[in-house]
């Protein structure tokens, strides 16, 4: 089926199609699908994953930006009454407009994988879980812990809202065209409440942003960008029991929470 689309992949849409059935099987096994559930797929491409999902669940909603592929998918999945191909941009789509709660299973377009994850986390109330194929480097950034090279503001953002783990590693030759980078599937399970208690989320994320903006600098220097009076900053380090000479990359989520909470709630 998938070889019958006589067209060149559109690089600008991140079209590296999965061609390895064993990876599809791994994803399906890992997903532990329920026949009564709804799955949302982003970027169904030529439908290798869509087809596997359609056979196993009650409803598959697939968002595809490429109009040519939408036409192709509608023809080739026509025998499945439970599949709905929607021509849409995953970044602007109104997820709350869908009636059901749904899990997301997708091989994401890599050029926008991070903004899509942010968007999905904004809609976490209706998404109990996501299984996302990503470039390995992004998977590492999302799952990293303090002191590991890839740990950064993206790790903090995702881990604040969810549990994350890498569940499948995928080699480049599983795709056509073969991409430049290796891939991995991550499981993101949004939490009912954030992992740590934060009084002012806006301030928390600004502290995180500046702490990582200048990686080689100490917190004392990098957090000057917050424009908070030096004495107040000094007190916050003391109350939070965080050494100002440390670098952001060594702080745990809890320590970032302690530090931003110690700065007070009235900070803009």
Nearest approach, Cβ of 66 to ligand SAM (angstroms)?
4
Smallest CA-to-CA distance from 44 within 101, 84, 100, 93 is with 84
The H or E element spanning position 126 is none
Q: Smaller CB distance to ligand SAM: residue 17 or 102? A: 17
Nearest-angstrom CA–CA distance, 186 and 169: 9
Nearest approach, Cβ of 124 to ligand SAM (angstroms)?
19
Size of the site for ligand SAM (CB under 6 A): 24
Q: What angle do CA 256, 259, 265 make, to 5 degrees?
A: 115
Q: Smaller CB distance to ligand SAM: residue 61 or 65? A: 65
> What does the buried/exposed string (b/e) look like for 21-59 if buried means 16 or more CB atoms within 10 Å of the residue's CB?
eebbebbbeebebeeebbbbbbbbbbbbbbbbbbeebeb
What is the token pair recorded at 252? Answer: 């745990």
The answer to whether residue 90 forms part of the interface with ligand SAM (CB under 6 A) is: yes
The answer to whether residue 63 forms part of the interface with ligand SAM (CB under 6 A) is: yes
The answer to whether residue 14 forms part of the interface with ligand SAM (CB under 6 A) is: yes
Nearest-angstrom CA–CA distance, 23 and 45: 16
Site string for ligand SAM, 37-56 (x = CB under 6 A): -----xxxxx-xx-------
The answer to whether residue 13 forms part of the interface with ligand SAM (CB under 6 A) is: yes
Query: Which of 17, 72, 102, 212 forms a contact with ligand SAM (CB under 6 A)?
Result: 17
Name the site residues for ligand SAM (rule: CB under 6 A): 13-18, 42-46, 48-49, 63-66, 69, 89-91, 107, 109, 112
């Amino acid at each position: 089926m998938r070889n019958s689309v006589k067209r060149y992949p559109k690089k600008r849409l991140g079209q590296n199609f999965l061609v390895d059935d064993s990876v599809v099987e791994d994803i399906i096994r890992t997903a532990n699908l329920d026949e009564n559930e709804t799955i949302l797929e982003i970027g169904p491409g030529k439908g290798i994953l869509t087809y596997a999902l359609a056979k196993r669940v009650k409803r598959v909603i697939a968002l595809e930006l490429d109009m040519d592929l939408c036409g192709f998918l509608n023809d080739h999945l026509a025998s499945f009454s439970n599949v709905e191909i929607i021509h849409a941009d995953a970044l602007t789509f109104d997820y709350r407009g869908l009636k059901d709660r749904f899990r997301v299973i997708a091989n994401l377009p890599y050029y926008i994988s991070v903004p899509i994850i942010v968007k999905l986390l904004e809609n976490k109330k209706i998404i109990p879980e996501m299984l996302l194929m990503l470039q390995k480097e992004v998977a590492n950034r999302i799952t990293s812990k303090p002191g590991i090279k890839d740990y950064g503001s993206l790790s903090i953002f995702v881990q604040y809202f969810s549990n994350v783990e890498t569940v499948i590693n995928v080699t480049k030759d599983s795709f056509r065209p073969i991409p430049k980078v290796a891939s991995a599937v991550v499981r993101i399970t949004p939490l009912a409440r954030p992992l740590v208690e934060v009084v002012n989320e806006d301030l928390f994320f600004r502290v995180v942003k500046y702490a990582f903006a200048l990686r080689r600098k100490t917190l004392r220097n990098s957090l000057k960008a917050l424009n908070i009076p030096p004495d107040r900053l000094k007190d916050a380090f003391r109350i939070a029991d965080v050494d100002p000479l440390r670098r952001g990359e060594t702080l745990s989520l809890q320590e970032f929470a302690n530090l931003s909470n110690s700065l007070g709630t009235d900070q803009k």
